[in-house]
Amino acid sequence: MKTMKRSFERGQALIIIALAAIGLFGIAGLAIDGSAKFSDRRHAQNAADTAALAAALAKVKGASITDWKFAAKERAASNGYDSNFVTNTVNVYSCDETGSDCGHNAGDSNYVRVAINSKIKTTFARVIGINQTQNTVEAIALSKSGYDGPAFGGNSLVSLALSGNGYDAHGTPTWNITGGGIMVNSSSSSSATCGGSAGVIVNSVSTVANTTGFG
C-alpha cells in the first residue's frame, strides 16, 4: 500500500512548479512589460507635445495645412514615431476638422491636435496571452499669433492692487490721458474714485468692481 501511495504522489511537485511558474511570469510581465508600456507612454506624450507645438508654430508663420501637418509628423518622427502604421500611427488635425475630437476646442481653427497611437511588443506577458500593449496620447496647441499692440488693450494707467482704492483723484488735478485709459484691478467697492474739482480726460475706465465720480 505504501508503494502504491508513493506512485500516485509522483509528479505533484511538477504541477505546483508549473502553476507557480505561470504566476511568476505574470508578475515579471507586469513589472517588465508594464514598465516598458509606461516608458513608451511618457516618450509618446513628449513627442506629441513637441509635434503639436511644431504644427502651431508653422501655422502661425503662414504655412499651408499640408505643410504644418507635415511639420508635426516630421517632429514626431524625429522622436521615434514615424507613423509607419505597424508600430505607431501619428494623426494631425486642425480642431475645426470633422473627427478632430478636440473637446471644448472643437470647431476652433486656431487649435491643432496631434494624436499618437503606439504598439509595444511584450516579453514575459506573452506567457499569459498578451502579445502587445498599446498607448494612445494626444496634445493640443494654440496656433494664434501674439497680440501686437499697446498693453492692456490701450489702457495706459494701470493699478494692479487686488484690493483697496487703486485710483483716487481728488483736489484740483486734471489728468489728460491721450489714446488710452485707466485700468484698476482692485475688487474694492470704490476701486477708482474721482472727487472734488479733479478732472480726468480719458477714453475709458476699466475696473473689476465699481467706480465713483466718473461720468
User: Across residues 78-101, what is the average pLDDT?
Assistant: 95
Cell of 132: 502587445
Flag whether pLDDT at 150 surpasses 90. Answer: no
**Window from 35-39, 84-88, 159-163, 199-203 with minimum mean pLDDT:** 199-203
Q: Mean pLDDT across the stretch 93-112?
A: 93
- Please report the pLDDT score of residue 86 as a whole number: 95
Is residue 126 helix, strand or coil? helix
Over residues 38-61, the mean pLDDT reads: 96
pLDDT at residue 151 tops 60: yes
- pLDDT category of residue 214 using cuts at 50, 70 and 90: low
Name which of 91, 92, 96, 93 is nearest 109 in CA terms. Answer: 96
- Assess whether pLDDT exceeds 60 at residue 213: no
State residue 52's pLDDT score.
Answer: 97
* pLDDT higher than 60, residue 5: no
Q: Which set of grid coordinates corresponds to residue 4?
A: 502504491
| pLDDT at 4 > cutoff 60 | no
Task: Please indicate whether residue 144 or residue 139 has the higher confidence score (pLDDT).
Answer: 139
Predicted confidence (pLDDT) at residue 198 exceeds the cutoff of 90: no
pLDDT tens digits for range 161-175 = 788 777 777 777 777
Does residue 72 have a pLDDT over 60? yes
The average confidence (pLDDT) of the chain is 81
Give the Å distances, CA to CA, from 177 to 97, 158, 163: 46, 12, 24
| Higher-pLDDT residue of 79, 29 | 79
Q: What ranges do the domains of the chain cover?
A: 12-142, 151-212
How much is the pTM? 0.61
- Give me the sheet containing 204-207, strands edge to edge: 157-159, 181-184, 204-207
Say which DSSP state 98 is in: T
Q: Return the pLDDT at 122.
A: 85
